[in-house]
Amino acid sequence: MSNNLNKLQRKSIVLDENKSVYNGSESKLKDNQKIFEQSIHILNEHQLDPLFKATQRLLGDADVLMKIAEAKKNCIHAQGWQFEQLEVMKFNMDAIQKGEYAIFAQTTDSMGQPHAAADILIQNTNGAILDEAQLKSCNDAAKSAFALADEKYQGMQRVAPSEQTEKISELYQKRIDTGTLKAEDYRDAQNHLEKGVRHGEITSGGTTQQEAIEATDLERVGQIATEHKQEALLTELHRTGHQAGVLGAAIGGGMSMIGDGYQLLSGQSDLTVSEFLLKTTTYTVRGYTTSYVTSVAARGVAHTAQEYLAESTAKVLIKSNAHVAVAAGAVKAGKSIYRFLTDENMTKEELCNEISHTALTGAGAFYYGAVGQALIPIPVVGALVGSTVGYFIANILHQSGLFALGEAANVKVARERKEQIEQLCLAVIPQMRVARLEMEQVLEENRVARKEFIADVFSQMEDSILSVDADQYIQALNRLNGAFGHDLGFRSFEEFDQLMQDDDFVFQL
């Protein structure tokens, strides 16, 4: 029995830290990295919000192009309106590509000013008019040149179909040289003649009359609008993803370098220098890729919300960074599912645990981010503080097992420990029962033996009294004292008498 108990005592019941995502310094490092990544996306969204708005404007321009084609399908001069709108779209696309998100062009017709002198206004997001342009798309250069030289267009840019620009400039020069009465008007037109709408380094690049005519075809205009939308979206998504990716790479590689570098220098790591560099590079690439994909997905969600939800609803969702939370959650869940499909050692429980953690922390970061922004109405600051608090609260709730998809990791460990203890108890209880019976038997046997012994001693003492044998009585008394670990100090009446007569002996009861 003692051997079995020793074996059971040697069994260790401990929590396996490798099974818990949240235990140990490595999991804390991962949590901190996730917070940094979350902050990256919020900061990146705020910093590139002008790009998002510029892209939204261009998407709206493409929709206007299709609406004009539909509205003017029976109009003989429809290509003139499409010429203007194509110039606007090309100018705004060039502004996006050159990073001038606050500058954009717009037709006065789309602004509700169809009789304005200028056809296109170039302005900034503060509402300031930076430049004006008059456009004419006539069948030949001479007609376009004459139409653009009207006195009411003084000081404005003059834009005609790009294939006519060179010929128009030559016509203006000839008419100026002849000294015609409209020489000053021609000179002003020539000085402001542009191949396409321009402001500084931003230019539409020009539009041919054939392009304008094609844009009047209801089938072709859809393709043209889609091409411009795709170009704008791809430009924005790549720029947004790249900027977030650079920051993500810095954080991923930096945290790996700091953690592993410290252990390497302090001799606590078994990594070689080449392995350390490889690991740092891997985390850098992984940080770039994850941040890039997450930011691209977030912008995709934002544009989808603008397209299919009410404008007010979309603005609220974007302002509260809901699209960032959705995108980050989708990317992290996708990574978990991919690992589950490719890693044979990953269990379904671990997959459910990772996905539930992602969903809960994402929701916490989103809702608390919205509350934080409302309580701290400072751009970005409120959202950052709120989302960080939300992440940690959600993390604690998930660890506690109160909210989880399936069985939480710590709950699973606690359950396994409980099962181990139950198995140990089930193994020990029968042995304890056997030991108890053995002990009761020993006690009973000892009680009976003591009873018989004491009875025999008292019988011997009784016999000595009846026979007046003092030595027999003293012997019986010594037996009784010896059984309880004591000694009388004498073996006969003669020894007792000697002790009593000894002056140096002190008798103690």
Whether 290 maps to a domain, the answer reads no
338-364 pLDDT, tens digit per residue, is 777 777 777 777 777 776 766 666 666
Residue 297 pLDDT exceeds 70: yes
Residue 471 is predicted with a pLDDT of 78
- Total domains in the chain come to 2
Whether 296 maps to a domain, the answer reads no
What is the three-class DSSP state of 111?
coil
Residue 495 is predicted with a pLDDT of 75
3-class DSSP string for 56-98: HHHHHHHHHHHHHHHHCCCCCCHHHHHHHHHHHHHHHHHHHHC
Residue 106 is predicted with a pLDDT of 95
Write down which residue in 190, 215, 240 finishes a domain.
215
Whether 160 maps to a domain, the answer reads yes
Residue 158 pLDDT exceeds 90: yes
Distance, in Å, from the CA atom of 147 to the CA atom of 187, rounded to the nearest integer, reads 14
Residue 21 is predicted with a pLDDT of 34
Write down the H helix ranges in 266-321.
273-308, 311-319
When pLDDT is cut at 50, 70 and 90, the band that residue 135 belongs to is: very high
Residue 5 is predicted with a pLDDT of 42
67-107 pLDDT, tens digit per residue, is 999 998 888 888 999 999 999 999 999 999 999 999 999 99
What average pLDDT does range 213-223 have in this prediction? Answer: 92
Residue 288 is predicted with a pLDDT of 84
176-206 pLDDT, tens digit per residue, is 988 888 889 999 999 999 999 999 999 999 9
379-412 pLDDT, tens digit per residue, is 666 666 666 776 667 666 666 655 555 555 566 6
Residue 364 is predicted with a pLDDT of 67
Whether 506 maps to a domain, the answer reads no
How far out from the chain centre does Cα 268 lie?
30
The radius of gyration computed from the CA coordinates of the chain, to the nearest angstrom, equals: 47
Whether 114 maps to a domain, the answer reads yes
Distance, in Å, from the CA atom of 400 to the CA atom of 104, rounded to the nearest integer, reads 52
Residue 2 pLDDT exceeds 50: no
Whether 424 maps to a domain, the answer reads yes
Write down which residue in 162, 192, 215 finishes a domain.
215
User: CA-based angle 222:228:233, to the nearest 5?
Assistant: 120
pTM of the model: 0.64
Whether 450 maps to a domain, the answer reads yes
| Strands 129-135 vs 120-124: parallel, antiparallel or unpaired | antiparallel
Write the single-letter amino acid at 184: E
Write down which residue in 215, 230, 250 finishes a domain.
215
Distance, in Å, from the CA atom of 216 to the CA atom of 181, rounded to the nearest integer, reads 38
Q: Please give the residue range of the domain that contains residue 424.
A: 413-501
Whether 194 maps to a domain, the answer reads yes
